[in-house]
A and B are shown apart, each in its own frame.
Chain A
Amino acid sequence: MSDIWIIAENTLWARTLAAAAAALGKGGKITAFVHGDEAAAKDAIAHGASEAFYLPLPADAPWEAYTPALVDKAKAEKPALILLSTSRRCRDVAARMAALLDAPCFSDGKNIALADGGVTANTLLYGGLAVKTSVAKGATVLVTIGAKDFDHGAPDASRSGKIDTLPLSAAGVSVTGRKPREAQSVDLGAAAKVVSVGRGVSKESDLDTVRALAKSMGAEVACSRPIAEFFKWMPEECYIGISGQQIKPQLYLAIGISGQAQHYFGIRDSKTIVSINKDKECLMNQQADYYIPADWEETVAELAKAIHK
């Protein structure tokens, strides 16, 4: 039995982490720290937390300003494990807490196991090219985990527990404004078919050809990171990979994408992967179900013709 903390940036994440904590803690106390209001804390308790602290977003300081209070409490209570969401603020909090507690921290930990010998977890290496299994020892070990890694159960409204908040320390940082993210135009995660373009496509106007093909297939259009981040031909939420979207469509058609590990990580769970890439030996072709080692323009033109028929 081990006491576990969960620190989450939203309610959904808190539910997932509570489920993970219940599985790992085997009946130990679960203390939740959730971004939001009292309702968020109550929700965490209904989903398995023994007690919950709500941490509202301060108006003029970053949310991460709760870090010193969290560290003081962790030093006093010494939870065996602290699970945090892989959202950006929580990653930041995790790393800072780990430094101040002089504790080990796994980023994006999977297959987490808690035993006397320490905490074992798998993490990725070289953008998903390899999986590293390691063990960490310490009074407290921190792990950030992805939202999709655990399913949460149904809420139990009859559960009760202490609800409180934490003090905020001076951060030395003033927040001068916040701008919500613009609504996403497509939900790639929900798309059954995705056609994706990479740097093999040489100019922005080529995207029209690809879009027309996608439309005829009933597919959404995505891209590799350079297309979104460096060329800015597509919005950032459209790029696939370890630092972008992770999707598992029925069909992923990669056009002119080399298939580096960081990109492949985002599609590895797709049902069928097809690659069009003139470099026969490239990683994308070698990790696809089917590939056509040819010029994309010619191939896409033929494909459009064939689908039209």
Chain B
Amino acid sequence: MKKIAVCYKWVLNDGDIRVNDKTRDLDFEKSKPQINEYDRNGLAVGVQLKEASGAELIGITCGVDTEPSAKDALSRGPDMVYYLNDPALAQADSAASSKVLAGMVRSLGDVDVVLCSECSSDDFAQQVGPRLGALLGYPVISYVSAVKLEGDALVMDRKLEEGTESVKVKAPVVVVVSPDVCEAPIPSVKQILGAKKKPANAMDLAGAGLGPDAVKPMVTVQSVKAPLTSRKAVNLLGDGESVADAVAKLVKQLSTDGLL
């Protein structure tokens, strides 16, 4: 095993996205981009496989303005990062993202293992990993909860609704990991400083062997709205009241509603 690629998405921190009460539009002002949480587990698995095999670990990402992601990604263990920016990727769907990532993987040449995580926190579509495998013609192992290197093969557990399925597969392969596959350690100061010395390379569509069609989405967004919440959000703890007072109000209310 010589080359491992790990895909990650540079997404807005959804915890800081607010909803405009009147228009029900999303307000992104306070939200900063970050490495998709699930992909941090993918990066951590990449590090484990790199240590077990001595392979080179390459982080790859695509989007609109992904250069700032490289430093963060590199602090999590890859030897280098390739990023591809294209304005059209602002509207990227799973089809476009997987086509671009497939082009990037192909252009790296002889990648043995491609790691993805199950989903991203924005679309939650769970499509890119399996799509990528299909496009590359690699077997895909999805929903992986444990992975180990055994000679030139990978032995993995998949967590499915009916239980666990254990599989063995030889490279090349696309591995799509679930968040419980391993911990994603927070990078140390040393790793953060070390990241500055590692290469972050820009790639463009041509470099990935792709034409402009690859970035065209197949799904066109018509609207994005936050659903209305109809709940009253009654604060039971009035000014100057004790917790016991608030609890008494709660008990009374729940009893009236037949819930206690």
Contacts and interface: CB of A to CB of B under 8 A. Distances in A.
Contact of B224 (A125, A172, A302): A125
Given A176-B155, A302-B247, A306-B248, A289 B231 contact: yes
Interface string B144-169: 00000000000100111111111111
Nearest to A258: B15
Interface string B218-246: 11111111110101111111000001101
Contacts, number: 226
A88 B125 CA distance: 12
Nearest to B247: A302
Contacts of B15: 260
A266 B143 CA distance: 21
Interface stretch (B68-76, B134-142, B187-195): B134-142
B251 interface: yes
B166 A175 contact: yes
Interface in A53-101: 62, 64, 67, 87-89, 91-92, 94-100
A291 interface: yes
A203 interface: no
Contacts of B162: 180-181
The binding surface of chain B is classed by DSSP as: mixed
Contact of B234 (A99, A102, A291): A291
A99 B130 contact: yes
Which among A106, A125, A135 has the highest number of chain B CB atoms within 10 Å?
Answer: A125
Given A88-B143, A95-B134, A293 B235 contact: yes
B26 interface: yes
A108 B127 CA distance: 11
A67 B142 CA distance: 14
Nearest to B19: A129
A180 B169 contact: no
Contact of B259 (A67, A87, A272, A293): A272
Nearest to A135: B220
B122 interface: yes
Interface stretch (A15-23, A155-163, A279-287): A279-287
Contact of A99 (B26, B95, B126, B165): B95
A96 B140 contact: yes
B93 A104 contact: yes
Contact of A229 (B130, B180, B229, B248): B180
A182 to B, nearest CB: 8
Contact of A98 (B95, B160, B231, B244): B95
Nearest to B141: A173
B129 A292 contact: no
B254 interface: yes
B137 to A, nearest CB: 10
B121 interface: yes
B233 A286 contact: yes
B123 interface: yes
A178 interface: yes
B130 A92 contact: yes
A292 B259 contact: no
Given A96-B130, A99-B134, A176-B155, A289 B233 contact: yes
B108 interface: no
Contacts of A94: 127
A9 B218 contact: no
A176 B232 CA distance: 53
A298 interface: yes
B233 A104 contact: no
Contacts of B134: 67, 95-97, 99-100
A107 B95 CA distance: 12
Contact of A106 (B139, B170, B219): B219
B139 A172 contact: yes
A212 interface: no
A268 B228 CA distance: 11
Nearest to A137: B218
A248 interface: no
Which among A9, A193, A288 has the highest number of chain B CB atoms within 10 Å?
Answer: A288
Contacts of B180: 229, 236
Interface of A: 9, 62, 64, 67, 87-89, 91-92, 94-100, 102-108, 120, 123-127, 129-138, 171-181, 193, 217, 229, 236, 242, 250-251, 260-262, 268, 272-274, 280, 285-295, 298-299, 302-303, 306-307
Interface of B: 14-15, 17, 19, 26, 93-95, 98, 121-135, 139-143, 155, 158-170, 179-180, 218-227, 229, 231-237, 243-244, 246-248, 250-251, 253-254, 257, 259-260
- 10 tightest Cβ-Cβ pairs between the two chains A and B: A104-B218, A95-B130, A99-B134, A99-B131, A95-B127, A107-B125, A302-B247, A180-B163, A181-B163, A96-B134
7 contacts: A89-B160, A91-B130, A92-B130, A92-B143, A107-B125, A280-B235, A288-B233
